[in-house]
Homo-oligomer: A and B are copies of this chain.
Amino acid sequence: MPLTSLNLSINTDRLLNRLQELGRIGRDTDNKLTRLAASDTDKAGRDLFVTWMKESGLEVYIDRIGNIFGIWYGPENRNEAPIMIGSHIDTVINAGIFDGCYGVLSGLEVINTLQEAGFIPSRPIAVAAFTNEEGVRYTPDMMGSLVFAGGLSVEDALATVGADGTLLGEELERIGYAGTEDPGFLKPHAYIELHIEQGPILEKMGFPIGAVENLQGISWQRITIEGVANHAGTTPTDMRRDAGLAAARVITYLRDRANDSNGQTVATVGTIDFKPNAINVIPSLATFTVDLRDPYEQRLQQEERALANYLKELAVSEEVSITTEQLVRFQPVTFDETIVKLVEQAANQRGLQSKRMTSGAGHDAQMMARVCPTAMIFVPSIDGISHNPKEYTKDTDLEDGANVLLDVVSNLSGNHTI
């Protein structure tokens, strides 16, 4: 698909001002930003977003799981499947202002820019804000898009009990965002999500645009190693059954495999606990988690098998018993090659170097890929920081990303001007 340029650009000031304004909603007395899903602060953020959409003449719909859609219909396209731009506006605790919000507000900005240019879309353009992407208050994360894509029933989702004991369904009712549309009522022609990278690659390598071609599969396991607690002084090395040592061997093994994977597999041991956790007692129990990720399912399975085999050998050599529990398992997602190429072309025509890349984090796009051709656009995150007040992307990068989104969406939605 060749890319046609409209020689349009988004209104950078409007986008940046809206990001700042939304980012002021949900501040506590310490100025920390928190808009957990279906909370009062989430309601305030939603209200502001809906106000902007209505001011833009969009038709606003809320579905039963609280996802918000603003649709810009052209004069003769009401029967066409829309191009959907989406992300989320809920946040983690003590968040930055860009995660999710940048994608949603850029979607609105793209529509505003096209409206002002007199663009006549051959397909409707929709902007979506999905409920509970962060998953802090209600599990699982990416819940709104998961329900929208049919991966979880709306009844089960609404019955979710939150970390604070609340019911999601009741909270959505309370804040006025328990909508009436059935999830999936819209059938998008394509879905695009613009997002900050939340990782260091683009900044470190000097690329302003990431053309995201896939999204890592995730395998989370909890591993428990049981040895024998013994005195650190009186127990000779060859009589030890040291659960802590065995855990350390697993951690170094995983890193050595990741080093051998040419940058594809990543492995992280983020939590650990020894028992009895005393200076002079050999650990009888070590519990830790393994976060394994790879963009290819076959290789992710291969890494899981390699770990399982290593654990078997280790149980014998260290005379410990080892059990594993799968906590999370997501298959990798491959995005739509046509849209990824459009992203590359759009960046290229604007003189922006783009890098094909893998998303290391989960996004609503991974759910939407189940129902329509989907891709993502990344912009650099300074120092890769996210889920933190220090989350930051330069204004010029925010502008460039939104302009690439503009070009891709205008092409996918018909590319007609008056």
Contact = CB atoms under 8 A, between A and B. Distances in A.
A249 interface: yes
A244 B251 contact: yes
Contacts of A327: 279
Contacts of A259: 237
Tallying the copies of this chain within the complex gives: 2
Greatest chain B CB density within 10 A among A249, A289, A291 is at: A291
Given A244-B269, A281-B270, A218 B201 contact: no
Given A234-B384, A237-B255, 20 more contacts: A201-B239, A230-B384, A231-B361, A232-B266, A232-B360, A234-B359, A237-B258, A237-B259, A237-B266, A238-B263, A244-B251, A244-B272, A268-B279, A268-B282, A270-B277, A270-B279, A270-B280, A270-B281, A270-B283, A271-B278
B263 A236 contact: yes
Contacts of A252: 245, 248-249, 252
A329 to B, nearest CB: 13
Interface of A: 197-201, 204, 216, 218, 220, 230-239, 242, 244-245, 247-249, 251-252, 255, 258-259, 261, 263, 266, 268-274, 276-283, 289, 291, 293, 327, 359-362, 384, 386-387
A200 B360 contact: no
A218 B218 CA distance: 44
A279 B291 contact: yes
Given A201-B236, A252-B252, A263-B237, A231 B281 contact: no
A362 B280 CA distance: 11
Contact of A271 (B199, B239, B255, B274): B274
Greatest chain B CB density within 10 A among A218, A278, A280, A293 is at: A280
A231 B248 CA distance: 21
A277 to B, nearest CB: 5
Contacts of A361: 231, 233-234
Contacts of A359: 233-234
A216 B281 CA distance: 16
